[in-house]
């Protein structure tokens, strides 16, 4: 798949009502999504090989790429009272349990106490425990196990109770 072909696909999305296209060809997988007008486009960066491709309208994902998604898209959703995001304050890798195979620290819908460990963010071999600031219910888990996270990235949506 070369740049010209990718641009043709992107053009197709822009000119039609198609909002998402998944294509597999010659060992390459491409996912192109069209942003919703009026919202801020997420800044998603990927590691392409061999030549970098800048796609202003879509997100191009290649296999084995390191993708760190931006916090912007999530933060656009309006929140109810008492709801807040728990965001990463360090750059690292998110882990939902203390070690592989163990039970996750928290489940969806679970009530947590102030200071209770929600997850671990590992940075340079140091395991940093992220704690809940208050008594709350876990409404959403926004990242996946072993996902790289950046500063400000929303990890959980909680509702204080």
- State yes or no: residue 92 binds another protein (CB under 8 A): yes
- State yes or no: residue 9 binds another protein (CB under 8 A): no
Torsion on CA atoms 104, 107, 110, 115, rounded to nearest 10: 40
Q: Which of 71, 118, 141, 143 forms a contact with another protein (CB under 8 A)?
A: 71
108's tokens: 């969806």
Q: CB 56 → another protein: shortest distance, Å?
A: 9
- State yes or no: residue 75 binds another protein (CB under 8 A): no
List 121's β-bridge partners, or say none.
Answer: 94, 128
- Of the CA atoms within 13 Å of residue 122, those in its CB half-sphere come to 13
Site residues, another protein (CB under 8 A): 43, 45-48, 51-52, 54, 66, 68, 70-72, 90-93, 123-124, 148, 150-153
């Amino acid at each position: 798949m070369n740049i010209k072909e990718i641009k043709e696909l992107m053009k197709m999305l822009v000119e039609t009502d198609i909002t998402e296209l998944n294509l597999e060809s010659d060992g390459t997988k491409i996912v192109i999504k069209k942003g919703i007008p009026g919202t801020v486009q997420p800044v998603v960066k990927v590691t392409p090989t061999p030549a970098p491709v800048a796609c202003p309208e879509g997100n191009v994902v290649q296999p084995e790429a390191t993708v760190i998604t931006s916090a912007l898209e999530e933060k656009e959703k309006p929140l109810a009272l008492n709801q807040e995001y728990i965001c990463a304050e360090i750059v690292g890798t998110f882990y939902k349990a203390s070690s592989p195979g163990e039970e996750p620290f928290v489940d969806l819908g679970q009530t947590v106490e102030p200071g209770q460990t929600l997850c671990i963010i590992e940075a340079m071999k140091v395991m940093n425990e992220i704690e809940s600031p208050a008594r709350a219910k876990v409404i959403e888990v926004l990242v996946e196990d072993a996902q790289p996270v950046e500063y400000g990235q929303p990890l959980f949506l909680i509702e204080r109770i």
